[in-house]
Amino acid sequence: MPETIVAQSSEHLTIALERGVYWTPPPVPARAPARRQRLGWACARVAFHAYVGFALFSGVGGFLTAPLMTHLFFDDWRFWRYWRRGAALFPHGWRLLLLVLRGEGTFMLGVPLDSPPLSRPLRGAAQLSGAWPHGDSCGSCRRCCQVKSLCCPILEPDTGRCGGYDSFYWRYFNCGRYPSSQSEIDYYGCPKWVISGQEAGAG
């Protein structure tokens, strides 16, 4: 199958295939991050939560700071390219908050504040299910991002792929490190992954 390396950094390769997008695993860090580095990650997440809270509760904060909003979620300051999907983040944020308050999907707020940003689950944290026939590719992001009563507005409707790959939100929260727990896999009914150490054919 033809493949093209579309992005390369010291951490990982992003490879586009005909049937989807996948990443090569980032290398395991050689040493534990310094306290100052962990503090920086924690401050970034706290600031993000404060900003999103301001946007949700003010009703207009996200629109008045549209370039920052689209940079955080789409990795792009050009907010005019995301008017429809950016505006949809407002009701989507409220739906997510209510869902978490009901006790459903609490893992969405389960990323430790001082954990490193990731574009892929840590090597060894999860493995492909023995029943998954498609290799590394997910094919489409709709399986996880368009589930139950939620449809993530960052999802590109035409391609079924995420429009926020490697954005701040992707790296600092659940998307980039998915899956990091069995509860995530169970919630989305994901047939691709199992947490390492469990039976490879489990769903």
The H or E element that residue 115 is part of is none
- Chain segment 62-72, per-residue pLDDT in tens: 999 999 999 99
Q: What is the largest CA-CA distance in the chain?
A: 49
Residue 151 has a pLDDT of 84
| Confidence at residue 13, expressed as pLDDT on a 0 to 100 scale | 45
Residue 196's pLDDT band (cuts 50, 70, 90): confident
Residue 30: pLDDT band with limits 50, 70, 90: low
Is the four-CA dihedral 194, 200, 116, 156 of positive or negative sign? negative
Question: Which letter, b or e, does each residue of 159-175 get, where b requires 16 or more Cβ atoms within 10 Å of its Cβ?
Answer: ebbbbbbbbbbbbbbbb
64's CB contacts (< 8 A; 6+ apart) are none
Residue 7: strand, helix, or coil:
strand
Domain positions in the chain = 34-195
Say what the pLDDT of residue 106 is.
67
CA distances in angstroms from 175 to 71, 120, 144, 185, listed in the order given: 16, 8, 10, 12
Helix (H, G, I), strand (E, B) or coil at 85: helix
Estimate the share of the chain in helix, then strand, then coil, as percent rounded to the nearest 5: 40, 15, 45
By CB neighbour count within 10 A (0-12 exposed, 13-18 middle, 19+ buried), where does 72 fall?
A: buried
Per residue in 112-168, pLDDT (tens digit) is 899 999 988 877 778 888 778 777 777 677 777 877 667 889 988 888 888 999 999
Q: Give me 203's structure tokens.
A: 């769903």
C-alpha–C-alpha distance, residues 119 and 97, integer Å:
24
pTM score, whole prediction: 0.75
Q: What is the mean pLDDT of the chain?
A: 79
For the cut 80, the answer to whether the pLDDT of residue 28 exceeds it is: no
State residue 11's pLDDT score: 44
- Position 184 scores a pLDDT of 81
Q: What distance in Å separates the CA atoms of residue 157 and residue 171, rounded to the nearest whole number?
A: 22
Query: What pLDDT is stored for residue 149 in this prediction?
Result: 67
